Structure 1
Amino acid sequence: MSESRTVQGAAEFDIDVATAARLRRSLSATADEVIRAVIQEVPSYAGAWAGRMGTTIRRAVRTALGTFLDVVGGTGVLAVGAEAAYELGRGEARDGRTMDALLAAYRVGARVAWRGLSSTAVSAGMPADLLAKFAELVFAYIDELSAASAAGHADELATSGRARERYLEQLGRDLLAGATDELLVAAADRASWKPPDTLTAVLLPSGHAHMTQRLLPEGTLLLAEDAAGLAEPTAVLLVPDATRAHLLRVVGEYRAVVGPVRPWTRVAASFARAVRAHAMRGDGPLDTEERLVELVVGADVEAHADLRARALSPLDSLRPATRRRLEETLRSWLLHQGRRDDVAAELFVHAQTVRYRMSQLRELFGTALDDPRRVLELTLALAVPAD
């Protein structure tokens, strides 16, 4: 690791005891000037000087200047100032200020500190060549402090970012588990996640999840591929206040399943419906709002199979081809409420063919075709064709 430019330069800098003493006596006034200048010239710090953060920054400025004079005088350790600068960077990240704001404060501080220090040095009679060397030391030191603060800022962001990711993932799992409103509000607050009005659950292949998340509204939650409990790697996205048309366009290239919109604390219902619909996917996205009939009649597969078997039992004695034709005709007749011409148009047959088939069906079903309850059973039985 290369030696600090400040330490290296200080070893070659010969300052007399009297000048060093005068610089040290001016330290407090110079620190106050630096603080005032930063308040006036860097907007991000206008309100930062009250309370804990103000105390931290004042201490950091005084420590930085004091450490510099110690190093220049050959009695100090640079690490003291660097450590204070590192902690300052971490504190700035925790308070939500960017590194740009802190670097701007360093630039202002360097200018004002040099003005104060150089004024004292000149009044103490420091020669021009030594003053130039002194300037190099001041700005090398500020550069090193800036680097230390940048490292602290980056480390804090990385640490807090990982923690927040864990909190967001836990929030997502709590949402899918249908946790209580109280627990969900607390989890959202812990993750610094602003609750929307609604959430929509989306299932899609895991390989496309991160790219898709970037195209969706801010605050979209992403859960790992095991959250859906499906055999194939499937990610879960919880999309806040989604516009359905836009959402379907975003996932349009993938075999995604888009659940219904639900209040954000009730997104577990959207997720559960998307999971039930997962097996219905085709080559593109599946909108569960367009497949409600299939979802309803498929909610209990065995019950639907039993209903089909009982309701359509009058067709059991027919040959398979004949049965298929009559089932198709009966389904169309029920959906078109007995309008023969509409049935014929849908099935691409003559109206007389429809009349003939319906005569067969009436012989087989008898009065059942006039009984509202039996008609309902037949409609549900035929709502989803048999595999």
Structure 2
Amino acid sequence: MHYGKIARIALAVTYKPGVVVAPTLRTVVRRLPLGLAVLAGHEALDRPVRWVAVSELEDPTPFLEGGELVLTTGMRLDADGAAPYVDRLVARGVTGLGFGVGLGHEEIPAELVTAASRAGLPLVEVPRQTPFVAIGKAVSDLLAAEQYEEITRAFAAQNRLTRAALRPEGPRAVVERLARELGGWAVLLDEAGGERHAAGRGAAAVAAVIPELGRLRGRPREGGTPSSLAFSTPGAHVVVQPLGARRIRGFFAVGLGKPFSPVEHTVVNAAGSLLTLLLEHGREHQEAERGVRSAVLRLLLAGETRAGRETLELLGGGLADGPLTVLACGGDPEAVLEAAAEEFAADADGRVVVIVPAERAETAAAALRGHGPVGVGTPVDDRQLGTGLDQADRALAAARRGGEPVMRFADLAGQGLLSLLDAGAAAAFSAALLAPLREYGSRADLLESLRAYLACNGHWDAAAQRLGVHRHTLRYRMRRVAEILGRDLDDPAARAELWVALNV
């Protein structure tokens, strides 16, 4: 994994502040050397100051958004207008009222103090020597400081998430780190919605997430990036993001007991980028390893046992000493490979080949049977793996024909005599006898036709019916087999040899 790439992706997540965490009015009054004094509304000083607005209008509310500290000298304010003025500000949701004395009024009118106290609106006295612009600059500086602190916290959290991603258990570590950073729960889901990793209290609430995944699968991707989804449950606010660069490969969800802040949204986005990178890299690594394992399988089947074992050791695995059993597995290769993760397994030619110590063959077959039919060979040594695979393939074919979850080569009908033959000698005999047929272009139908003909004891109609061809077609094929092999198929001895060769 290119670790520098992970760090750059995490740190490149754009910070989108949205609603900036603003300083409180208490902070503005107490921490700034502006000589401000609170005359009313002390209990509401922890309201945030999102901006400063200066107005001498009798009704400035059409020009306000809420959350402002309104500054005025009361030039147009008289005793009768104090209460309606305060009521309008409160209805608009302003944070507080700053009244400048020494110009229009030497002190704040008592009617205004009374109205503000009754309405719970903080009323702040601004001395003559403090210009309104100084208050505006001070609040602006505090807002910038809060935003900088938010960005700093977001990038610090991203760095911790990046370090988590570099750990061997990358996705799990990122999910656990995210839950700790936010003080909530986080869960990683596979593409079908199955839980892979969960962390934090309340992760059981993930059940509410599953019905929402269908909505995400159907959403368009903006600029190649999957869209996210946010919703609320009785116990949590939840954000769900799909994961995957080219297609959805999974989901992750995060839940908090409160609405997400801008910093928390940024941290969630960073975690999503890291998880996507880890999933994509993991898939590329798996595909590369699958290719190596398929190559190792070819080495083992070709008799290059030493080279195959050495390559497996480089992958961190290996084959056990002693008798081995080969299993041929149908079904979805992805599912079979995952189920056989503890064994040597490689996909080749439409099935997965699993090689296990002979004493674990039954356990492995039981673990794999739920993912498709399984054929089990007889124990062989590492120089006879080709024979073991041929047996497993024949058992797999029988399992498919009979609808059986597991078929063992030793249980196939007619194997009693064959089991007495030396496996290596029988395999060599079979390979030599049938080589001309196997080398005859791509006409694999000759082998299957010969097998059906012998199984039906030379009865043309029965064999043709089993193959689903006309008996004249079968007669033609058997003439070609006789010519290619140089054998008389009417000779009982030739038939016996061919039957043995086809079944070892």
Q: TM-score, normalised by structure 1?
A: 0.41
More helix per residue = 1
Q: Pick 1 or 2: higher relative contact order, CA cutoff 8 A, min separation 6.
A: 1
